[in-house]
């Protein structure tokens, strides 16, 4: 596949992204080359696009880790895949040797490789999966029932599933989800699927709350109302909720979770919080109430495989609100910045 390809190249400055012709990656004997069909824009891509210059990113970089692709070429040593397989990509793989990797927690590996952060990814016509990634199992074949556009949601869904497995919702548990963006809505889908009882979604954007209702929330609460906390207690009863999920990138979402959690309940801190924020709380709140606080970041390859197996049972197409060509990536980024729609993707081939 020697030649040139179109790619969105990010140079690290604010909105410093150019659509360029670059060399198509060369395929080594253990590598796989993907022809990208569609790639979702993650909140983290938009944050990098508008704010620029996060040190953990290579420079320049091709962003985009939410990928549906066809295999375009396989190296001579690759046996597990053939040209034409339709796949999605688990976008991280670890060193394979550290304490975390050998216990299946490669998301915690210190030397983790993340597509779209420290290696080039999917906002391009082609993308290379290096031998190490192929061997760790990052390429997962897609069921025909999952469309190309739905395939772009699977990475987010895998992260949600990772958090949900930690949160350990029991049949009938009440769940309050703070944040009705794509991540909060996926938490809603999965919570319902695994047997939660009443699920409440909380946000300040009315459009998103309406969407949550359509997707299956039992109750929606606008937290810009001063009475939001009472609304939750009057719906669930005076003890509060069994599980709470902070699914928005804000400290308030974490603090609000503690305001409604039941004694013995579990709080999942899912959304990353901007640097410089500190949580002030009385440790006795955790001690006397036996509240558990859990963290969740990215997903393991095991989570990703489970996600691909679950995907045909969800209506994921409805999550895609906008689709743009690679040349119009800025328009897509603007949709995310303005919190328009649920998910915006780039359609490439």
Write out the residues near Zn ion by the rule CB under 5 A.
42, 94-95, 98, 101, 109
Please identify, using beta-carbon distances, which residue of 33 and 42 lies nearer to Zn ion: 42
Of residues 29 and 99, the one with the C-beta less far from Zn ion: 99
Tell me how far, at minimum, the Cβ of 99 lies from Zn ion, in Å: 8
CB of 288 to Zn ion, least distance (A): 37
CB of 17 to Zn ion, least distance (A): 17
Closest to Zn ion by CB, 43 vs 52, is: 43
3-state secondary structure the chain: CCCEEEEEEECCCCCCEEEEEEECCCCCCCCEEEEEEEEECCHHHHHHHHHCCCCCCCCCECCCCEEEEEEEEECCCCCCCCCCCEEEECCEECCCCCHHHHCCCHHHCCCCEEECCCECCCCECEEEECHHHHHHCCEEECCCCCCHHHHCCHHHHHHHHHHHHHHCCCCCCCEEEECCCHHHHHHHHHHHHCCCCCEEEEECCHHHHHHHHHHCCCEEEECCCCCHHHHHHHHHCCCCEEEEEECCCCHHHHHHHHHHEEEEEEEEECCCCCCCCCCCCCHHHHHHHCCEEEECCCCCHHHHHHHHHHHHHCCCHHHEEEEEEHHHHHHHHHHHHCCCCCEEEEECC
Which of residues 89 and 109 has its CB atom nearest to Zn ion in the complex? 109
Shorter beta-carbon distance to Zn ion: residue 106 or 203: 106
- Cβ 167 to Zn ion, closest distance in Å? 19
Nearer to Zn ion, 95 or 286 (CB): 95
State in angstroms the smallest separation of the CB of 176 from Zn ion. 23
Smallest gap from Cβ 143 to Zn ion, in A, equals 21
């Amino acid at each position: 596949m020697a030649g040139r390809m179109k790619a969105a190249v990010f140079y690290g400055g604010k909105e410093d992204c150019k659509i360029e012709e670059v060399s198509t990656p060369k395929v080594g004997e253990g590598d796989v080359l993907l022809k990208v069909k569609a790639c979702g824009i993650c909140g983290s891509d938009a944050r990098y696009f508008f704010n620029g210059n996060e040190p953990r990113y290579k420079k320049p970089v091709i962003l985009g880790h939410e990928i549906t692709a066809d295999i375009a070429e396989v190296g001579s040593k690759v046996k597990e895949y053939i040209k034409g397989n339709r796949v999605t990509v688990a976008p991280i793989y670890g060193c394979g040797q550290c304490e975390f990797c050998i216990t299946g927690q490669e998301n915690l590996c210190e030397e983790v490789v993340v597509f779209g952060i420290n290696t080039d990814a999917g906002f391009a016509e082609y993308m290379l999966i290096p031998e190490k990634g192929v061997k760790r199992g990052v390429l997962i074949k897609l069921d025909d029932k999952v469309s190309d556009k739905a395939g772009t949601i699977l990475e987010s869904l895998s992260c949600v599933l990772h958090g949900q497995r930690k949160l350990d919702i029991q049949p009938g548990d009440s769940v309050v989800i703070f944040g009705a963006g794509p991540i909060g809505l996926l938490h809603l889908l999965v919570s319902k699927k695994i047997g939660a009882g009443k699920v409440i979604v909380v946000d300040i954007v009315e459009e998103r709350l309406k969407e949550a209702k359509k997707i299956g929330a039992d109750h929606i609460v606008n937290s810009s109302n001063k009475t939001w906390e009472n609304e939750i207690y009057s719906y669930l009863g005076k003890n509060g909720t069994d599980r709470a999920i902070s699914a928005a990138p804000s400290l308030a979402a974490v603090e609000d979770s503690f305001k409604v959690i039941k004694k013995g309940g579990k709080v999942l801190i899912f959304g990353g919080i901007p640097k410089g924020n500190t949580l002030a709380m009385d440790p006795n709140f955790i001690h006397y109430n036996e509240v558990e606080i859990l963290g969740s970041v990215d997903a393991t390859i095991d989570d990703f495989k489970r996600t691909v197996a679950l995907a045909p049972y969800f209506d994921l197409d409805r999550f895609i609100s906008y689709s743009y060509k690679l040349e119009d990536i800025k328009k897509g980024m603007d949709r995310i910045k303005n919190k328009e729609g649920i998910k915006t993707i780039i359609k490439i081939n």
